[in-house]
Amino acid sequence: MKRYYRELAASGEMLTGVILQLPSEELAEILAHAGVDVIILDTEHSPTGYEKLVSLIRACETFGALAFVRVPSARDEAAIKRALDAGAGGIMIPNVDTAEDARRAVEYAKFPPLGRRGACPFVRANAYGGEDRTDFYAKANAETAIILLVESPEGIRNLPEIVKVEGADMLQIGTVDLAVAMGLPGQTEHPEIMEALHRTAALCAEHGRHMAWYCGDAVSAAALRETPGVGMLVLPFPEIAIHDYYAALNRMMKGEQKAP
């Protein structure tokens, strides 16, 4: 069952998302069955290659999750095109530093007249040509969603212009990269980082965009559900959840840690 970002956003409900780095169809199905709305398949920091994308996207769709793909770069036109041709409902663009980066992403992700995405109606995104071969382009332009990932001090300075770029749907602050770039490695909740997050939410609310906000736990998520501009809460990486759960369980099994 394929879903679309604008259909989900129009419901007015807070969405949940997660970034999946392991190229595992089974894990994608587990996350989708657990009710996660958006699964972002990472091809920037993971071994996931193009050959895996179709089966991962199909696994997301099995239980109704919307599949996005995080591509390596805003400048990687081929990666953007392949992800969308494979049937991804949207893309996440990392390292967006300027409005020009954002415009380039829209240009590569949209067909004319909105962009210059290469046209082929015989791709999986159009049921291999089985759907309407004339309306496919306008339909894809309307349904394809774009998340801009801002990860640098330059990007933070340029937020007022980046948020205005037409065709982009959502912004997210990459707090890990931003903290490292600011000389604050690991301090993703530093006051300067938090100020950037809240400023982004305010700008998104002002300009009719949504913000995706990474949450480390349910307590922080609860505080964000009523924040204007925030449209999606990004859950902890599955890899972290698996590691930390089994590390704690292992310590308890060995008597090194008491059960909570």
Domain regions of the chain by residue span: 5-253
Running DSSP on this structure, what letter comes out for residue 127? G
Which of these is catalytic: 33, 45, 190, 210? 45
| pLDDT for the residue numbered 260 | 62
> What values do phi and psi take at 221, rounded to 5?
-65, -40
| pLDDT for the residue numbered 218 | 83
> What values do phi and psi take at 211, rounded to 5?
-115, 140
| pLDDT for the residue numbered 11 | 86
| pLDDT for the residue numbered 2 | 76
Structure tokens of 42? Answer: 């990472």
pTM (2 d.p.): 0.94
- For 228, half-sphere exposure in the C-beta direction (CA atoms, 13 angstrom radius) is 8
| pLDDT for the residue numbered 142 | 94
| pLDDT for the residue numbered 216 | 84
| pLDDT for the residue numbered 6 | 87
Stretches where the chain sits below pLDDT 50 are: none
Q: Among this protein's residues, is 243 annotated catalytic?
A: no
CA dihedral 155, 156, 160, 166 (to 10 degrees): 40
The CATH code of the domain at 5-253 is 3.20.20.60
